[in-house]
Amino acid sequence: MRKNVAQFSRIGFILSAAGAAVGLGNIWKFPYMTGVYGGGAFVMVYLITILLIGVSLLVAEMYIGKIGQADAVSNFENEAPKAKRAWAKAGYIIFIGLIIMTFYSVVIGWIFYYLYVALTGLPTNLQDAQNIFNTLYASSPWLQITFHTLSTAIVAAILFGGIKNGIEKFNLLLMPTLIVILLGLMVYAMQFEGFSKALAFMFAPDFSKLNSEAIIRAVGHSFFTLSIGIGSIMAYAAALPKETNIFRAGLWVAFLDTFIALIAGIVIFSFLFQFGGEPAKGPGLVFMSLPIIFAKLGTVGTVIALLFFLGMAFAGLTSAISLVEPAVMYLEDRYEWSKKKAVIFNSLLYYVVGILVVFSTTDGFKEYLMIGKKSLFDALEFAVDSFLMPLGGILIALFVGYALSKERVAKELVPEMGEKIFAVWYFSIRYIAPFAVLFLAYNSLTS
Which of 116, 71, 131, 130 is closest to 95 using CA atoms? 71
Residue 137, domain member (yes or no): yes
Which pLDDT does position 5 carry in this prediction?
Answer: 54
Is 1 part of any domain? no
Q: Report the CATH number that the domain containing residue 439 is assigned in CATH.
A: 1.10.4160.10
**DSSP class of 371:** E
What is the Cα–Cα distance from 65 to 42, expressed in whole angstroms? 32
Does residue 117 belong to any structural domain of this protein? yes
Phi, psi of 410 (to 5 degrees): -65, -35
Q: What whole-number distance in Å separates Cα of residue 165 and Cα of residue 52?
A: 35
Q: What is the pLDDT of residue 209?
A: 75
CA distances from 301 to 97, 110, 121, 136 (A): 35, 19, 11, 22
Q: Does residue 50 fall inside a structural domain?
A: yes
Ordered mean pLDDT values, 10 residues apiece, the chain (447 residues): 62 88 82 80 88 92 93 90 77 94 96 95 90 92 97 97 85 91 93 91 82 77 81 90 90 93 90 77 72 91 94 92 95 94 98 97 93 92 86 93 95 96 96 88 74
Contacts of 114 (CB under 8 A, 6+ apart): 287, 291, 305, 309
Buried b vs exposed e over 399-418: b needs ≥16 C-beta within 10 Å? bbbebbeeeebeebbbebbe
Give Dmax over CA atoms of the chain in angstroms: 67
Q: Which of 247, 237, 297, 183 is nearest to 424 (CA)?
A: 247
| CA gap 148, 116 in Å, rounded | 14
- Amino acid 206: pLDDT: 79
* Torsion-angle region of 364 (φ positive above 0: left; ψ -120 to 50: alpha; else: beta): left
The full 3-state SS of 401-434, as one line of letters, equals HHHCCHHHHHHHHHHHHCHHHHHHHHHHHHHHHH
Question: Cα–chain-centroid distance for residue 67?
Answer: 24
Cα–Cα distances (Å) from 205 to 37, 42, 45, 183, 262, in that order, read: 11, 8, 10, 24, 14
Residue 73 and residue 234: Cα distance in Å, rounded? Answer: 10
CA distances from 385 to 152, 378, 389 (A): 22, 10, 6
Question: CA–CA separation, 382 vs 441, rounded Å?
Answer: 11
pLDDT at 6: 62
Q: What is the DSSP letter of 278?
A: -
- DSSP notation for 112-135: HHHHHHHHH----SHHHHHHHHHI
Q: How far is CA 403 from CA 57, 72, 409, 438, in A?
A: 15, 16, 11, 18
Domain count of the fold of the chain:
1
**Nearest alpha-carbon partner for 223 in 401, 45, 446:** 45
How far is residue 417 from each of residues 12, 60, 257, 393, 413, measured CA to CA in Å? 22, 13, 21, 22, 6
Q: How far apart are CA 26 and CA 358, in angstroms?
A: 23
Q: Which domain holds residue 261?
A: 10-446
Q: Which amino acid is at 72?
A: A
